[in-house]
Amino acid sequence: MEDALARFHQDRKRARDAGDPMAALCVLATVDGSGFPQARTLVLRDLHDRLALFMNATSPKVAQLQLGSAAICVYLPSIQIQYRCAVGLEAVDPAVVAESWHLRPPMPKTLDWFYTHVQPQSTRVASHDALHSQLGEFSLPDPLVAPHTAVGYYLTPTMIERLDLAMPTGLHDRIRWTRTSHGWQKDQLTP
């Protein structure tokens, strides 16, 4: 039986080898408490042979993820392939997140602490300049460690859909795999 996830990894590798910046990213779609859709770009990480996302727990997207359903979309322009995946989520061990957090540049580190102690991510500020000077005066803990709000989630795709635009016939090839207890069930769809 074809392994849909292996196919996804192969295509991402092909795109990465072609220097495609989109190979590192995904669009994460969630639904907020009012049923309104929300979408944003995130770095799609490969962590312990699994897909993972890192974020700050003060962001509204974390509450949305805890509602239980999420989807990611990845378009790889270098090979003209789109993936759409429904995903389940599982928290990454905080010790693993904390280790990776040390590799973040200084400003995102400062912001993670700012979100934790001053105001949450995605909330209103007076202006960009006002925020910048507030961050300049903000004192960070010493030693500098990750705040508990730095979090990560492993993604487990339950549905993977691949749309290939690069078909010589001009007819796009669209396949959907659904995870079942026996493996991946494959369906060909009209594009």
Three-state SS at 6: helix
User: Side chain identity at 77, as an amino acid letter?
Assistant: P
Per-residue interface string for the shown chain with ligand FMN, residues 150-169, x marking contact by CB under 6 A:
--------------------
Per-residue interface string for the shown chain with ligand FMN, residues 18-37, x marking contact by CB under 6 A:
-------x------------
The least CB distance from residue 61 to ligand FMN, in Å, is 3
Q: Does 61 bind ligand FMN (CB under 6 A)?
A: yes
Residue span binding ligand FMN (CB under 6 A) among the ranges 10-18, 57-65, 90-98, 133-141: 57-65
- Helical H runs in the chain? 4-17, 60-65, 94-101, 106-117, 128-137
Q: What is the C-alpha separation between 47 and 63, in angstroms, rounded?
A: 22
Contact 115, 56 (CB under 8 A): yes
Q: What is the C-alpha separation between 55 and 42, in angstroms, rounded?
A: 9
The least CB distance from residue 188 to ligand FMN, in Å, is 32
Cβ nearer to ligand FMN, comparing 37 with 183: 37
Cβ nearer to ligand FMN, comparing 110 with 178: 110
Q: What is the C-alpha separation between 83 and 56, in angstroms, rounded?
A: 25
Q: Which DSSP state fits 61?
A: H
Of positions 59, 75, 87, 151, contacts ligand FMN by CB under 6 A: 59
Positions in 85-124 near ligand FMN (CB under 6 A): 121-122
